Amino acid sequence: MPEPLPVGLIILDGLGLSSRREGNAWALAATPNLDRWWRRVPSGRLQASGEAVGLAPGQMGDSNVGHLNLGAGRVVVQDVLRISRSIACGEFYDNPVLVEACQPGRVVHLVGLVSDGGVHSHQDHLYALLELARRRKVAWVAVHAILDGRDVPPQSAGIFIDRLEGELVGIGAIASVMGRYWAMDRDGRWDRLRAAHATMVMGRGRRAASARTALAEGYARGETDEFLTPTVIDGTGIAPAESVICFNFRADRARQLSRALADPDFASFPREGGLRQLTTMTLYDEEFPLPHAFAPLPRPSHGLGEWLSELGLSQLRIAETEKYAHVTYFFSGGRETPYPGERRALIPSPRVATYDLQPEMSAREVTDIALAEVRRDPPDVVILNYANPDMVGHTGILSAAVRAVETVDACLGRVVPAFRAALIVSDHGNAEQMLDPATGGPYTAHTSNPVPAILLDASRPGAVLADGILADVAPTLLEIMGLPVPPEMTGRSLLGRTDCR
């Protein structure tokens, strides 16, 4: 007798819902599968931003946050909100780890993404560190400003630089600037990080008289904020006796930089200048723990992956490199190691400078491997991520985002028949808004739009999906499989509900 087909949870990373057609990659793409399913099978809208996913009101979601909520089956309070609350109540200024890093008379270097995007960092946290430095009477603060242009408009850095320079009067200066493309890689592109490291640590590379000048010169070269060439402004690097605080709270794009700065066993490129005394805002890497100001919250118990394992069921997690951590580590609530019965498949992302050059990414390979794994040894559940809408959406190139969505639609047409039931969702919006409505220019950031939920299950004729939040997805999947929902999951199944959250 053939093995029963698995149930699939398919995450279309960065594909939201918008009524606007202009600049909407989904609306402009040829997507016969998604279009047909959206019209003809049970579907609903999920809130994927703000308080619905544990963020501040109005804050757009992201892949980390989305996968945490999807996997936990409950709303998970996020680090950005924890840190902001500690600043508001004053506890931040007595944080023992930060106080230790800001010794009186010491030079302190602050490294991180300078924007109000709220995905990897927030400028308010940087300004709170400057206030702490004043209170602690440090000798000088040198800010190594990583520019965003991805979670905020692509040429918005001037706004953040101007405010930062005002906040630094009397206490410090901007020592270097560079785009996040160089300093926040997470895919082992060490040539980028080597250039960022040389500028930060050794004070070596392109020079400019001011951050504003560096920005203007970069724009003249055709660079946007994200890609600004590493540039020394007012500094000679980081001396070994000086403190370094990285104020990014999101780990995945800070791990490589933290290891280059402080790991004695680092060998990914010849590192000059030795180690630095590094403190981080949160724990970046369990295998390389550094002093960090905010300890991880307890992992959500009995998330979907853990619960399936306890019930004796098997699961396959599959994604390409860019979203592999999300479908594994973040979906499991911050757990690195697989659960019993969990196997994983990692497909390398293409090594191109930007994904508009290859908007198909590795979606076809992800599909091929998923189908091969189901044929070889069918798991009970497949949790699959398609990275294209988000990663190509971040480029701001509408034509590429259209091709990305079309690629994913074609892959869905191949992979969905391998499942006895499939729940297709997204984690946050992005590719549905590729144009800035205020300027008409490219829009590279996430959105606060709701995201789709689509149920393909021939055994449930007449089923209805209610609108809800990302935390409702895990209980819904368990109901589809006829499994109990653990009491820790406070999300509610979308099946059969007549109410809306």
pLDDT in tens, 323-359: 999 999 999 998 989 999 999 999 999 999 999 999 9
| Residue 132 is assigned to a structural domain of this protein | yes
Angle at which helix 255-262 crosses helix 190-202, to 10 degrees, equals 50
Examine the pLDDT at 2 and tell me if it is beyond 60. no
Contact call for residues 299 and 305 (beta carbons, < 8 A): no
> If you average pLDDT over every residue of the chain, what do you get?
96
Examine the pLDDT at 250 and tell me if it is beyond 70. yes
Examine the pLDDT at 245 and tell me if it is beyond 50. yes
Domain that holds residue 334: 7-77+299-480
Residues 320 and 267 grouped into a single domain: no
Q: What's the CATH code of the domain at 476?
A: 3.40.720.10
Report which DSSP code applies to 34.
H
Residues 138 and 198 grouped into a single domain: yes
> What pLDDT is attached to residue 1?
42
| Residue 178 is assigned to a structural domain of this protein | yes
Confidence of residue 500 (pLDDT cuts 50, 70, 90): low
| Residue 155 is assigned to a structural domain of this protein | yes
Of 246, 261, 294, the residue at which a domain comes to its end is: 294
What is the strand order of the sheet 243-246 is part of? Answer: 206-207, 231-232, 172-179, 140-147, 107-113, 243-246, 277-282, 292-294
| Residue 501 is assigned to a structural domain of this protein | no
Q: What is the pLDDT of residues 277-318, one digit of tens each?
A: 999 999 999 888 999 999 998 889 999 999 999 999 999 999
Residues 287 and 326 grouped into a single domain: no
Contact call for residues 201 and 246 (beta carbons, < 8 A): no
Examine the pLDDT at 501 and tell me if it is beyond 70. no
Residue 378 backbone phi and psi in degrees, to 5: -60, 120
Of 241, 268, 294, the residue at which a domain comes to its end is: 294
CA dist 291 and 281 (Å) reads 9
Q: Average pLDDT, stretch 15-20? A: 98
Examine the pLDDT at 180 and tell me if it is beyond 70. yes
Domain count of the fold of the chain: 2
Residues 158 and 60 grouped into a single domain: no
> What pLDDT is attached to residue 496?
79
Examine the pLDDT at 3 and tell me if it is beyond 70. no
Q: Catalytic residue positions?
A: 63
